[in-house]
Amino acid sequence: MVSLPAHAGHDPAREVLPAGDGWASSGPGTTGGAAAPASNVHEVRTRAELVAALASPAPRIVKVRAVIDANTDDTGKPLSCKDYATDGYTLPGYLAAYDPAVWGWEREPEGPLEDARAASAKRQEATIALNVGSDTTIIGAGPGAGITGGSLRIHGVRNVIVRNLTFRDTRDCFPQWDPTDNSPGSPPGNWNSLYDSVSVQKSEHVWVDHNTFTDEPNVDSTQPLHFGRPYQVHDGQLDITSAADLVTVSRNIFSEHGKTMLIGSSNSSTTDPGKLRVSVHHNVFRNVQERAPRVRFGQVHVYNNLYEGSQVYSWGVGVKSQIHAQNNLIRGIAPEKIVYNWGGTAITDTGNLVDGRPTSLVDAFNTANPEKKLGTDAGWTPVLHRGLEPAHRIRSLKAGAQPAGRHLVVGKGFASVQAAIDAAPAGAVITIPKGVYREVVKIPASKRGLTLRGATGRAQDVVIDYDNANGTRKPDGTTYGTSGSATATIAADDFKARDLTFRNSFDRKRHPEITNTQAVAVKATGDRMFFDRVHFEGHQDTLYADSPDVTTRSRQYYRDCAITGDVDFIFGRATAVFDRATITALTRGSDPNGYVTAASTQRANSHGFLIVNSKIRSEAPAGTYFLGRPWHPGGDPEAIAQVVVRNTELPAAIKPVPWTDMSGFPWRGARFAEYRNTGPGAGTGTDRPQLTDEQAKQYTKSAYLSGWNPA
């Protein structure tokens, strides 16, 4: 990625589209707000400031200096889907009303709950829709700057520039179910969302340049299935429809998305013919599924783009479309998957490379789809193509918004921990100042090598806290499970955390209606994860040390950490070492008071949990705590718990027989052992398996971490 050019005396916000650079350069060209007086240049950091700046007189320049969360009210208070819901809308109620088994497949939903869904959607739209006027430049003016959850609308205007912004997770809280929406070769029905990250309608002379579009941290693959179809909460990343015209789309990154770019409204449009002239060049389309772009009517020049990752199709040849696809580089996609015929007649493709080989993509499609053959001449020759290059020269294409730097500080351009995570590149360090941050945090696998560090060096000063539990209602009316209750879900490999606290503050007494009281502080699934001087606070299921799936081994190292809980509060199938840990077993006033561990180590993995050189402490009565029990998720017979507690001080609360059965699975079938423990809770005997000195050599930090040295 590259930043926009800047030097002494030069302001990127006043740059205009160069002559000859695509359709938007035709005629008077596209200048945006370049002519704005100094009094009409606005720097914004919040949604309220952005809305006010966009409403100022034209010409205007709007410089975005932070990650702006569009789902906030005018005071900056975050809004959830629950805040928008009205007229009795709940997702469970909607699912029950329009279940095809009840409603059928022949008609779209109607009635009170569909009306409530539509009204709720309108409430969200009123907040997240950001309307852009004519003669405007809106530009990211700092690393990582962008808009999360917003829909930038360029409707019925002219002369607009959008540059150097990262658009994240434009989520529709209220997708509509349409059982009649059927695509060829797909199961019946679809969930349809309403909001595009950027929407261009009935507008002309628009330049969209050097932006990054992503659904992280709420990617489609994490959404559930309802009625057998993906619950689609995202619409387009950039849609150009409703007689929009003279648009240049250059050097953007489009990633991890389904319906990426639609050009043209409908097959029956009477306003689109003669419009929709668009240039799409030097963009990266990475792991997008379709519409890159899909075109109706328009003369669209698609050139010098880089396509990577599996796709349903890239170029959708729609009714009366005229796509000229030239000198694009395609990697890791079958040639017959690039083109799809959506009712068109022809597409020109020249100079395109697939995995380094010249390929006719029309021929590849026609061979695979003889019943839908396309012609090879779209009927026009582009002339506005500044910088046209051979396809092989774009293998290292630089595109996208200026990423956040490698060192980010929460509170300086980032209103929350999650905002900093969203903006951070892989390998970045995020410093969190002293305070309690009440939020749910998600670190996706793509953020490899990320570090979170508390600013004071004291874990108790920096707390990330939330209070979801297994059974807490989600904003859509469904409930969280154990995994979904986590305050922090961390999937990235090579993650590090230092000097902070993760807490789940769910209170059983305040929520007697919730009977499953699992409430996770952290779910960690990455490999080579290092937690240093970190506190984990909760009650049941505090720390979920896991792996992405049963076939993947994840190594995790917890050094000088403090872990607090009562029932199964260290659990999962990770290979995890707890070194010099302070483990506090809380009292519940019962016998048993609880269980320290509930490992679910896979049989093929010889190393599960190692607690070494640590101290377990408890104020629970003597003989009321178990060291652990074997967890078999879903009754999995291959989950054979492996736990060693060695060289560790045990309190009197530990039972003389410290291991116990779970869900019908006997503890003796697991792999539990102790070695050289001390304290009033230590002991030996036939019910306390001990390692021999020789065996102990196989159950060390280095054996568990097997080739990885966190230091």
C-beta atoms surrounding 513 within 10 Å: 7
Q: How far apart are CA 314 and CA 339, in angstroms?
A: 6
Told to judge if 568 belongs to the known catalytic residues of this protein, a careful annotator would answer: yes
Using CA atoms, how far residue 340 sits from 159, 187, 364, 372, in Å, is 32, 18, 11, 9
Among 398, 445, 412, 451, CA closest to 428: 451
Q: Which two tokens stand for residue 339?
A: 């083109």
C-beta atoms surrounding 44 within 10 Å: 21
Query: Residue 669: what are its φ and ψ, rounded to 5°?
Result: -85, -5
Question: How far is Cα of residue 344 from the mean position of the Cα atoms in its chain?
Answer: 35
Q: Which long-range contacts (CB under 8 A, 24 or more apart) does 362-370 make?
A: 364/334, 364/335, 364/336, 364/338, 364/339, 365/336, 365/338, 365/339, 365/340, 365/341, 367/336, 368/336, 369/336, 369/341
Question: How far is Cα of residue 616 from the mean position of the Cα atoms in its chain?
Answer: 36
- List for the chain the helix, strand, coil content (%; round to 5): 15, 35, 50
Exposure class string for 112-131: b at 16+ Cβ within 10 A, else e: ebbebbebbbebbbebbbbe
Instruction: Return the axis-axis angle of helices 91-98 and 112-128, rounded to nearest 10°.
Output: 140
Q: Which two tokens stand for residue 363?
A: 């021929």
Helices (H) and strands (E) in the chain, counts: 9, 56
Helix (H) or strand (E) holding 693: helix 693-696
Q: How far apart are CA 597 and CA 567, in angstroms?
A: 8
Q: For residue 252, what is the DSSP state? A: -
* Active-site option among 178, 220, 568, 661: 568
Residue 461, Cβ density class (10 Å: 0-12 exposed, 13-18 middle, ≥19 buried) = middle
Q: Which two tokens stand for residue 501?
A: 């606290």
Among 152, 349, 304, 326, CA closest to 240: 152
Question: Do the strands 262-263 and 225-226 form a parallel or antiparallel pair, or are they unpaired?
Answer: unpaired
Q: How far apart are CA 583 and CA 563, in angstroms?
A: 5
Tokens 């097997």: give the residue.
706
Please give the positions annotated as active site: 568
